[in-house]
Amino acid sequence: MKTPLPPVLRAALYRRAVACAWLTVCERQHRYPHLTLESLEAAIAAELE
């Protein structure tokens, strides 16, 4: 049986997934060209924590 991921790691993976999805949508719609994956992850983390 697999051991579950620690909550901190799971939250980081979810943040990365959401940031990737958001960045993909922004790139396709040519919006917010200054955004980076790191800046989005940091913004999400700041809002949640």
CA 26, CA 21: separation in Å to the nearest integer? Answer: 9
Q: What pTM value is reported for the model?
A: 0.82
pLDDT tens string 1-49? 789 999 999 999 999 999 999 999 999 999 999 999 999 999 999 997 7
Here the tokens at position 25 are 């949508």
Q: What is the pLDDT of residue 5?
A: 92
CA distance linking residue 12 with residue 17, whole number of Å: 9
Report residue 21 as tokens.
């999805």
Task: Find the Cα–Cα–Cα–Cα dihedral 5, 9, 15, 16, rounded to 10°.
Answer: -90
